[in-house]
Structure 1
Amino acid sequence: MSVEYDFEGQVVLVTGAGGALGGGVVEAFTAGGATVAAADLLEPDEVDLPDGVTYYQGDFTDEEAVADTVEHVVDAHGGIDALVNVAGTWRGGSPVDETDVELFDFLFDVNLKTMFLASKHALSHLRESDGGAIVSVSARSSLEGGTGDSVYRATKAGVRLITESIAEENRGEVRANAIMPSVIDTPANREMMPDADHDSWPTPAEIAEVICFLCSDASGVTSGAAVPVYGEA
């Protein structure tokens, strides 16, 4: 069943917009009529975005850059109605006793600090919106420990816990939910896992539909949730 969302008059800030999932989210909100502000660390000529999308280059691990970007979005568009925290990465890993502290710091910065800072600086504007919402990307693997990628799992568990806290702290004002993908059907993942069952992997577009739902009036009673989006993977 195909669902169409109406985000006319809504301003949506998407971090990590230059990646496969971020790009899918930008396209979905644009198709729904939203005014989309896309943010990423990449150079503008490295990001392929739909017409009408405003691009903001910035390092979302840097609080000053995040604050400046949020204010630029508000100044340009009058506010923020939804924040989608997609910025993040996976770098494989090693057993805990073989993991470099540099990798630990990097993953916590990119996966958790970006989500924390974007949420921190957007919240005051989201409270002024009629139905402000945050959706952040956690991961299926955050639900339990595993071999070789403990730091990644910990960062994504942190995303879930901060999401739950934001939901609790902003009851009746801003809804906050997380999604939990496993393996997403992207060219990079297909290249890394050529023998996997690619048909079982959800696409960025399919996951973006769930994110749109969580930012829409249709999910008005949902906050503090961690929603599985791993399909049959």
Structure 2
Amino acid sequence: MNVTFDFTDDVALVTGASGALGSAVCEEFAEAGATVAAADMVAPDDEDAELDTDRERVHFYEGDCTDESEVERVVSEVTADHDGLDYLANIAGTWRGGTPIEETDAETFDLLFDVNLKTMFLASKHALPHLRESAGGGAIVSVSARSSLEGGEGDGPYRASKAGVRLLTETIAEEHTGEVRANAVMPSVIDTPANREMMPDADHDKWVDPADIAETVLVLCSDATGVTSGAAVPVYGEA
């Protein structure tokens, strides 16, 4: 069964837009007719950026989503340029691991909580007043992780930061019942060039394509899930 979406006249802000998953979410929104505000500190001309800004309806906004003044500026520019905001996809994130807690430096801990949790908090905080004004009812989708459901060896701060994303998602949903829906997706290993380089001997066929996760993000923003809020949706397939 083929599923299509129609987000014509809607505006979606996507953080972490230059990465593999962020760029896939931007592409799916644009294909569905939305105006996409693609935000990242990595510009499209950077060799590591995967965002296609030549695509119709995709507009890039450069900014550091761990800096509140930058987030406030980007949200203000997006809402002024496009007369409002309907959806926020909190895709910005990173992974670090490989060491037990007693060997993990504070800089790594701070990085993970800044990029994975603080960006989600700041973008949601400044987008919410605009999302409440969305004619169709605004929606937020953030990225947690399968590993956030339990402790594990070697990447505790990552798991904790992603657990925080789930809890903040539930909080936003509770605080904005009937106004703005908030949900999260929980991937495991995503099939990206960086992950293939990091784990060349893994079974890549079991990994999930970013485009498949992006489709779930759109589902959670669509009318098809109008009664779903506060959920954490598995998107890890066989991974």
Question: TM-score band, normalised by the shorter chain?
Answer: over 0.9
Q: Which of these residues, 149, 174, 188, is aligned with residue 143 of structure 1? A: 149
1:103 pairs with one of 101, 108, 112: 108
Q: Is the 8 A contact 2:173 2:180 kept in 1?
A: yes
Deviations 1:36-92 (A, max 9, x none): 000001124124322331100000110000001000000000111000000010022
2:66 to 56, 61, 68: 61
Residue 81 of structure 1 corresponds to 86
> Does the 8 Å CA contact 1:44/1:57 hold for their aligned counterparts?
no
* Distance in 1 (alpha carbons) for counterparts of 2:167 and 2:183: 10
**C-alpha contact (below 8 Å) 1:66/1:118 kept by paired residues:** yes
Q: Is the 8 A contact 2:34 2:57 kept in 1?
A: no
The equivalences for 1:44-193 within 5 A come to 44-46=44-46, 47=49, 48-49=51-52, 50-129=55-134, 130-193=136-199
Which SS does the other structure have where 1:45 is aligned? coil
2:13 equivalent to 1:13: yes
Residue equivalent to 1:27 = 27
Identity %: 70
- CA RMSD of superposed structures (Å): 0.9
Which 10-residue stretch deviates more, 35-44 or 67-76?
Answer: 35-44
Q: Which stretch shifts more, 46-55 or 121-130?
A: 46-55
Match of 1:221 among 220, 224, 227: 227
TM-score, normalization: structure 2?
0.96
Once the two structures are superposed, residues 122-170 of structure 1 have per-residue CA deviations (whole angstroms, 9 ceiling, x without a partner) of 0000000122000000000000000010000000000000000000000
Displacement, 1:189? 1.1
Asked if 2 retains the 8 angstrom alpha-carbon contact of 1:131 and 1:217, the reply is no
Q: Deviations over 1:172-217 (max 9, x none)?
A: 0000000000001111111222222211111000000100000000
C-alpha separation in 1, matches of 2:139 and 2:79: 15
SS at 1:84 equivalent: strand
Q: Is contact 2:18–2:44 with CA below 8 Å preserved after alignment? A: no
Q: Which runs of 5+ in 1 are unaligned?
A: none
Letter matched to residue 132 of structure 1: G
Moved more, 220-229 or 52-61: 52-61
Q: Distance in 2 between matches of 1:27 and 1:200?
A: 23
**Ranges in structure 2 where 5+ consecutive residues have no aligned partner:** none
| 1:212 matched to 2:218 | yes
1:203 to 209, 216, 238: 209
Cα distance, 1:93 vs structure 2: 3.7
TM, length-normalised to structure 1: 0.98
Q: Distance in 2 between matches of 1:51 and 1:33?
A: 9
